[in-house]
Amino acid sequence: MALKANFNSVDSFPASTHPETLKILVKMLKEAGIKDLILVERSAMGNTRKVLDYAGVFELAQELGLKLWFWMKRIKMLG
């Protein structure tokens, strides 16, 4: 299942998805039996990798076993 959060910039919530919101959603989906989750993301106003790094998404993905996919560009899959 693909998820699309809102990490457009390094600006905090409500400009971008709060990492805790993403964490809770992923945990709920896993508890519901969804095993293969991929976060698909592309920052409209910044460098996607830098924005995700700033928001702590890479660490969160490792913690939750969440795979990452940059829109229009595949990155190393985690998990």
* Closest of 13, 78, 4 to residue 48, by C-alpha: 4
Alpha-carbon distances, residue 24 vs 21, 29, 69 (angstroms): 5, 9, 19
Task: Give the dihedral sign, CA 28/33/34/36.
Answer: positive
For residue 48, the model assigns a pLDDT of 86
Domain ranges within the chain, ordered by starting residue: 2-70
Using a cut of 0.75, tell me whether the model's pTM lies above it. yes
For residue 78, the model assigns a pLDDT of 55
State the DSSP H helix or E strand holding residue 39, giving kind and residue range, or none if neither.
strand 38-41
Mode of pairing for the β-strands spanning 38-41 and 2-3:
parallel
State the DSSP H helix or E strand holding residue 63, giving kind and residue range, or none if neither.
helix 57-64
